[in-house]
Amino acid sequence: MAELVYELSFKGAASDTLACAFGDCEVTTSRGVTTVRARVPDQGGLQGLIERVGALGLELLHVHLVAEPSSGDEVWVNET
């Protein structure tokens, strides 16, 4: 299944050390808010990213789906 791209925003400007905790993501900071953009393979991956924010004691402000699979990506249909 294709990976989805999510952005998570949290309160505060990430230091270089904190940004390293999200080394597998794109990290940007603007106006006191840090945004982490990441590709996640599934809901478990998204939950892990959200838990990482919480484990670092950060205040999660927003979770946003940025990109869904394109029409050329495989789509799995469960026909039960």
How do residues 53-78 score in pLDDT, each as one tens digit?
999 999 999 999 997 666 555 544 44
Question: Taking every pair of C-alpha atoms in the chain, what is the biggest distance, in angstroms?
Answer: 49
Q: Which tokens is 14 given? A: 């990430």
How far apart, in whole angstroms, are the C-alpha atoms of residue 21 and residue 35? 13
Per-residue pLDDT reduced to its tens digit, 11-67: 999 888 888 999 899 999 999 999 999 999 999 999 999 999 999 999 999 999 997
Amino acid occupying residue 13? A
* Residues 6 or more apart in contact with residue 39 via CB below 8 angstroms: 3, 4, 5
31 sits in the region (left: phi over 0; alpha: psi -120 to 50; else beta) called left
What's the domain range around 45? 4-67
Answer whether residue 80 is part of any domain: no
Amino acid occupying residue 21? A
Which CATH number covers residue 53?
A: 3.30.70.600
Give how many domains the chain has, as a whole number: 1
Answer whether residue 76 is part of any domain: no
